[in-house]
Structure 1
């Protein structure tokens, strides 16, 4: 599988990353999915301390222990479970992040984290303090690089201006083109990579498209619009290939994107995602066709 440089770092991530949130808590099943990903050439594994109360990190660390030096482990912090574990609070403070990383290192059973990400962020945060925490963790050798996971343009701009982050994880797809106009060009210009999530739009950009569409619609698409647009995308762009393939290739066609993080709970899903990454590139005419069929959404909030 092809690899792309992550921002200005020396990390080269596979074009498909494994989103580990959907692995579940059955270790043997999760291990089979992770081993399938390794067999497909996937080297980028994304988790978070929030997932399954930290058990996800434990599973990922255990499954990757024998290949630790050959893989890139990304995890996240900032969401703090309550004692009752029935909800979480937002805590991007320096004190919390510097404690959270130690717990993640213990669960992952590793001496360092390749990419440590802020799991959200608001414009009201003490952003300089958060950046200071990440910079100190780098200097202390706990993490190699850091980034944020955010769709908020105002927060992203602050980190672009004030930090040495190498990546931003964000939702992006053919149905959610909000980052295209203002966020992706900015990050590309600054040499900061994008790692995408939500690429198949909750399954709507797959061959189960209408089955996955909801009565509420999706973003600014009404259910009626989805019923029209999804079959049209399939007809025009994927008559002899999967819509998932088109969706993944659409994201990878943007020069700001380094990797598409795709969740998988079965070996078959891993193989399908890997096959999609290795498929033929979209022609410029196909990209333009996608943009003519779908909406050029805009971020209305977080200004």
Structure 2
């Protein structure tokens, strides 16, 4: 599988990364998926302290204990579970970020995290203090590089100006093209990579889209608009490539994007995602077709 450099770092990440949130807590289910990911050439594994109250990190730590140096593990912090585990609060303070990193290291059973990310962020955060936490963690050898996971253009802009982030993780798909107007050009020009999540829009961008259609639509698509767009995609790519292939290749066609993160709850689903990523890149004409049938939305909120 093709690998791309992540920002200005020396990390080279597979074009498809495994979003580990959907692995669950049963090793008998999770381990075969992780093994299949390695067999497919995936080297990038995305987790967070929030997932399954830290059990997700523990599963990765146990599985990768013997071949830690061959994989890139990305985790996140900032969301703090309440004591009753019924919800979480936001904490971007230096003290919390540094402590959260050390707790993640214990669960991952590793000496370092390759990419440590702020799991959100607002302009009300103590941004300089937050950046200090990541810089100190890097200087102390606990993390190799850091980034943020955010869809907020104003927050992204602040970190581009004030920090040494190598990546920004954000939702991006054919049905959510909001990053195209502001975030993607800014990050590409700044030498910062984009890690995309939600490339198949909760399963809508698949050949089984009819089963996923919902009355409330999706983002700023009404149900009717959604159906029309998906039918348009199917009609234009039928016999040439699957909607899934078109979806992941659309993400990868943007020069800012280094890797597409997709979850998998089965080996078969992971293999299907890998085939889509390994398929032939979109032509410029195919990209234009996609843009013609979908909305060029932009961020009205999230600022």
TM-score normalised according to structure 2 size: 0.99
Task: Write the distance in 2 (CA, Å) between the matches of 1:270 and 1:136.
Answer: 36
Moved more, 194-203 or 59-68: 59-68
User: What residue in structure 1 maps to residue 297 of structure 2?
Assistant: 297
| Per-residue deviation, 1:229 | 1.1
User: What residue in structure 2 maps to residue 8 of structure 1?
Assistant: 8
The secondary structure found in structure 2 opposite 1:270 is: helix
User: What residue in structure 1 maps to residue 206 of structure 2?
Assistant: 206
User: What residue in structure 2 maps to residue 26 of structure 1?
Assistant: 26
User: What residue in structure 2 maps to residue 43 of structure 1?
Assistant: 43
| Per-residue deviation, 1:182 | 0.8
User: What residue in structure 2 maps to residue 283 of structure 1?
Assistant: 283
The secondary structure found in structure 2 opposite 1:260 is: strand
Task: Write the distance in 2 (CA, Å) between the matches of 1:237 and 1:283.
Answer: 12
Task: Write the distance in 2 (CA, Å) between the matches of 1:206 and 1:289.
Answer: 17
| Per-residue deviation, 1:211 | 1.2
| Per-residue deviation, 1:66 | 1.4
Matches within 5 A, 1:246-257: 246-257=246-257
Task: Write the distance in 2 (CA, Å) between the matches of 1:213 and 1:157.
Answer: 34
| Per-residue deviation, 1:210 | 2.1
| Per-residue deviation, 1:234 | 1.0
Q: Deviations over 1:96-120 (max 9, x none)?
A: 0110001000000000000000000
The secondary structure found in structure 1 opposite 2:145 is: strand
Contact 1:174 1:294 in 2 (8 A): yes
Aligned-residue RMSD, C-alpha: 0.7
Q: Deviations over 1:69-118 (max 9, x none)?
A: 01000000000000000000000100001100010000000000000000
User: What residue in structure 1 maps to residue 81 of structure 2?
Assistant: 81
The secondary structure found in structure 2 opposite 1:66 is: coil
Contact 1:238 1:246 in 2 (8 A): no
Matches within 5 A, 1:111-126: 111-126=111-126
Task: Write the distance in 2 (CA, Å) between the matches of 1:300 and 1:239.
Answer: 37
Stretches of structure 1 that go unaligned for 5 or more consecutive residues are: none
User: What residue in structure 2 maps to residue 189 of structure 1?
Assistant: 189
User: What residue in structure 2 maps to residue 108 of structure 1?
Assistant: 108
Contact 1:74 1:116 in 2 (8 A): yes
Contact 1:58 1:108 in 2 (8 A): yes
Task: Write the distance in 2 (CA, Å) between the matches of 1:68 and 1:275.
Answer: 25
Stretches of structure 2 that go unaligned for 5 or more consecutive residues are: none
Q: Deviations over 1:113-167 (max 9, x none)?
A: 0000000001111111000000000000000000000000000000000000000
Task: Write the distance in 1 (CA, Å) between the matches of 2:241 and 2:287.
Answer: 16
TM-score normalised according to structure 1 size: 0.99
Task: Write the distance in 1 (CA, Å) between the matches of 2:234 and 2:194.
Answer: 26
The secondary structure found in structure 2 opposite 1:145 is: strand
The secondary structure found in structure 2 opposite 1:80 is: strand
The secondary structure found in structure 1 opposite 2:279 is: coil
Aligned length: 303
| Per-residue deviation, 1:207 | 1.0
| Per-residue deviation, 1:206 | 0.6
Task: Write the distance in 2 (CA, Å) between the matches of 1:238 and 1:273.
Answer: 18
User: What residue in structure 2 maps to residue 128 of structure 1?
Assistant: 128
User: What residue in structure 2 maps to residue 224 of structure 1?
Assistant: 224
Q: Which runs of 4+ in 1 moved over 4 A?
A: none
Task: Write the distance in 1 (CA, Å) between the matches of 2:23 and 2:243.
Answer: 23
The secondary structure found in structure 2 opposite 1:191 is: coil
Task: Write the distance in 2 (CA, Å) between the matches of 1:238 and 1:178.
Answer: 26
User: What residue in structure 1 maps to residue 264 of structure 2?
Assistant: 264
Q: Deviations over 1:254-301 (max 9, x none)?
A: 000000000001000111111111101100001011101100001001
